[in-house]
Amino acid sequence: VRWYRLAANQGHADAQFNLGVCYINGTGVHQDHAEAVRLYRLAATQGFAIAQNCLGMCYANGTG
């Protein structure tokens, strides 16, 4: 999680997405759906397709 956070803070979309997955599942961090959606949104705006899909699923399910 530490390395994902460092890379995410530098704007790496794949790290933002992967850190979002950690937050959505509570893997290595306390589960926080709002933080996961925030990170998915950052990655999605950079064109990261999987993050766009996961963000859409969060919206559809009312998560975050």
- pTM for the model: 0.95
Report in angstroms the alpha-carbon separations of 15 from 45, 60, 61, 62, 64: 14, 23, 23, 23, 19
What pLDDT, on a 0 to 100 scale, did the predictor assign at position 64?
85
Q: What is the pLDDT of residues 14-49, one digit of tens each?
A: 999 999 999 999 999 999 999 999 999 999 999 999
What pLDDT, on a 0 to 100 scale, did the predictor assign at position 43?
98
- Does position 50 have pLDDT exceeding 90, yes or no? yes
Helix axis angle, 33-44 to 13-25, nearest 10°: 160
